[in-house]
Amino acid sequence: MQKPLITNRFVERFNLSTPIALAPMALANGGNLAAACARAGALSLVGGGYGDLVWTQREYSEAISLLDGNQDNLSRLGCGFISWKLAEDRSAFDWLLDQPQKPAAVMLSFGDPTAFAKILSDLNIPVICQIQTMAQLPQALDAGASVIVAQGTEAGGHGMNEREGRNTFTFVPEIADWLAKHSPQTILLAAGGIADGRGLAAAMTLGADGALIGSRLWATTQSLATESAKNIALQASGDDTTRSSIFDILRGKNWPEQFDFRAIRNKLHRKWEGRIDELRSDPAAAMEDYASGAGQEDYDRAHITVGQDVGLINDISSAEEVIDNIGQEAARLLNGGNTGKIATRRLA
Ligand SMILES: Cc1cc2nc3c(=O)[nH]c(=O)nc-3n(C[C@H](O)[C@H](O)[C@H](O)COP(=O)(O)O)c2cc1C
């Protein structure tokens, strides 16, 4: 890991080279991507997602094995889970906490984090809560979160639906102001739409201590997304994604109503737009077709999960290169155009 160009409390607290966290992307960020990001100096959260025990065991163990006993790199490895799903099955969470290598942090998103956050806090494992509205903030802090991720609706994957969700550009500074007043020790990360150094610098200017990045790190050589999905994403612009529950219905996922999902608005999505009730009431044939499309990597019939920042992704390079480029560019922009070590702090 190279010496940090940007130093702040997030970088210092988690022993990072740059104020970036790899988002825990279900099924997309496994051991290989998490290990690469940890080696590059980012906080790396394996995509524990729905808490599938076998998947989490395999991918988390793969990351540990790739990091090969290097304590510096291992100190940046953690995992993320979906809270409402953990309430149904917490076996992967329990397995993780039984491992000899304590996770650097565990991120909880979507639903009440309280019960799981308490278990983590009792073990001195930092709790990261991803939230989408101001109303969720007190619950996350009461649960014991030491890091809050403010997720805007630009983000790839699940988030708050358009009716209730917030955009990153107004949500981050509003949370920053609230935390400065009520919980100044809490670290704040921005999520949703951050794919380059401009985005990271903007997020930090808005009061965040760093960024949680999903889509840009999905589009790297080490992610588990298929080559064909990555190539389609490369051709897409930010206009080409949308939010809805269509892909959740087609995958048989029973997400709470307030959350929906951003992905590329493909032929399959367009087919069901305006007919969601019809799809929900009789999904069997459509689900079968979706599963067959996914099996054949036919992305007219299966989905590709990326955020609006897909339009800023122009190559599939390694995660190390992506993290390095974002860090360098952000440092230059935050430093008035000169690359050099800078320290940032939350605006009071
Ligand atoms: C492919 C993909 C899968 C995701 N899966 C999860 C998940 O399992 N749990 C979670 O908390 N967030 C998940 N997210 C959302 C991220 O945590 C994060 O909020 C988002 O990626 C940030 O926006 P960006 O994609 O523009 O960087 C996912 C995002 C993507 C792109």
Taking only the tens place, the pLDDT of each residue in 116-149 is: 999 999 999 999 999 999 999 999 999 999 999 9
Closest by Cα among 228, 221, 237 to 321: 221
Provide the pLDDT for residue 157: 98
Atom 17, ligand 1: residue with shortest CA distance = 23
CA terminus-to-terminus distance, the chain: 31
CATH of the domain at 83: 3.20.20.70
Closest by Cα among 152, 155, 177, 179 to 166: 152
Provide the pLDDT for residue 348: 43
* The one-letter amino acid at 347: L
Q: Assess whether pLDDT exceeds 80 at residue 342.
A: no
Compute the chain's Rg from CA coordinates.
Answer: 19
- Residue 285 belongs to some domain of the structure: no
Give ligand 1 pocket residues (Cβ under 6 A): 23-26, 28, 47, 49, 80, 82, 109, 130, 151, 154-158, 191-194, 212-215, 218, 305-307, 309
Q: Assess whether pLDDT exceeds 90 at residue 340.
A: no
Whether 255 contacts 215, CB under 8 Å: no
For range 277-300, the mean pLDDT: 96
- Residue 286 belongs to some domain of the structure: no
Atom 13, ligand 1: residue with shortest CA distance = 25
- Residue 146 belongs to some domain of the structure: yes
- Residue 121 belongs to some domain of the structure: yes
Residue ranges making up the domain that contains 201: 6-225+313-343
Distance 80 CA to ligand 1 centre (A): 10
For range 278-304, the mean pLDDT: 96
Report how many domains make up the chain: 1
Q: Assess whether pLDDT exceeds 60 at residue 346.
A: no
- Residue 307 belongs to some domain of the structure: no
- Residue 270 belongs to some domain of the structure: no
For range 189-197, the mean pLDDT: 98
* The one-letter amino acid at 268: L
Q: Assess whether pLDDT exceeds 90 at residue 320.
A: yes
Contacts of 150 (CB under 8 A, 6+ apart): 131, 166, 168, 171, 172, 175, 188, 189, 190, 191, 208
- Residue 136 belongs to some domain of the structure: yes
- Residue 273 belongs to some domain of the structure: no
Q: How far is the C-alpha of 196 from the C-alpha of 211, rounded, in Å? A: 10
Q: How far is the C-alpha of 186 from the C-alpha of 204, rounded, in Å? A: 15
Q: How far is the C-alpha of 209 from the C-alpha of 216, rounded, in Å? A: 19
Distance 133 CA to ligand 1 centre (A): 16
Q: How far is the C-alpha of 87 from the C-alpha of 323, rounded, in Å? A: 33
Closest by Cα among 105, 121, 191, 204 to 151: 191
